[in-house]
Amino acid sequence: MAPNRPVDKHSVDNLSVEDLRRLLVEKRRAVRQDRLEHYRRTGRVVVLTPDGSPPTLEEMRTENEEDGESVANGIEGIRQEVRTAGRSERRTRRRQIIDRLLIAIEVAAVGGLLFIVLSGLNLLRDLNREVASALVQPTLTPTPLIAAVVLPSGHTPPDSPGGAQPNEAEIPEHLRPLVQSLSMLPVPTPGPEQANRIQIPAIRVDAPVVQGDGWEQLRKGVGQAVGTVNPGQEGNLILSAHNDVFGEIFRDLDLLKPGDTISLLTQQHQYRYEVVETRIVLPSQVEVMASTQEPILTLISCYPYRVDKKRIVVISRLVDES
């Protein structure tokens, strides 16, 4: 009897029907022989035909019928097993492909989400930078409105016919309409950073500071030229007052010497300036009102006393803030 050999399910289609029938017959005989041997050992069977005797015709017919049926069933079973294995293998491959595709989709989704988050953060940072830059107001250095016309505080002497009044003769005739139109502009409301008082200990001055340097403003005290900087800021802060009318606040400006101090007070701070120089100029020398790169205080008044044909200009620089 030939030894039982395992049947490769992948090569079963290469076997002929006779080969399959022979394999099944051998397998059935081996199983039957093993069963008979078992029964002999247990004493449950009597051997009627000696071992090695040829089978009868009926036995051969029955065995052939059974073998044919077994072969057919075996072939069908093997084919079914092969088809089942093929379907399982195809399903396994399809499942692997789907799993890989799903993993690729998940990786792409995570990458897209990270890209969106990073893009959003960059956009938010740029937007914040733009908003911050838009909120920062540039520091402007205003120019006095009358800088190109004439110096402030000009008036006729108090003992002249008609008394003290604005001296239009100082203004070039073609510029008088401009000065008149500028004098009608509204005076801005004082802010917390603007000076509200001036103190000059060397000449005993302690007076209020108002906005504007027109005729009516200088009746109330020392006037700040509209558009000039506030105390402590870079630029030229211009204050003017009369020397022989309306309290004669700047009567003794010519007594100031370099090193004397001038204090300007706001609602929250006090700024101390130190006198640098004193000049006597013509009313038309408006260059003393020009803007500067450092914090400068310029005091202007008519000069000389009760003559008022020129201007006295005291220039000081910022030395302290408290």
15 pLDDT exceeds 70? no
Residue 146 in any domain: the answer is no
Name the domain boundary from 134, 151, 182: 134
Token pair for 267: 């609602």
Q: What is the pLDDT of residue 2?
A: 45
81 by DSSP, 3-state: which? helix
**Residues 122, 206 within the same domain:** no
Contact yes or no for 262/270 (Cβ under 8 A): no
Instruction: Specify whether 196 is located in the same domain as 300.
Output: yes
One-letter amino acid at 19 equals D
pLDDT digits (tens, 9 = 90+) for 160-219: 988 899 888 888 888 777 776 666 667 778 889 999 999 999 999 999 999 999 899 999
Give the pLDDT confidence score for residue 75 in this predicted structure: 62
Which of 80, 110, 134 is the last residue before a domain boundary? 134
Can you spell out the DSSP letters for 116-158? HHHHHHHHHHHHHHHHHHHHSPP------TTTTT--SS-B--T
pLDDT tens digits for 206-244?
A: 999 999 998 999 999 999 998 899 999 999 999 999 999
Q: Please tell me the total count of domains within the chain.
A: 2
- Tell me the C-alpha distance between 278 and 310, whole Å: 13
Residue 179 and residue 130 share a domain: no
Asked whether 245 and 305 are in contact (CB, 8 A), the reply is no
CATH number of the domain enclosing 296: 2.40.260.10
| Whether residues 302 and 181 fall in one domain | yes
Residue 98 lies in a domain: yes
Is the alpha carbon torsion for 171, 173, 175, 177 positive or negative? positive
Q: Are 227 and 145 in contact (CB under 8 A)?
A: yes
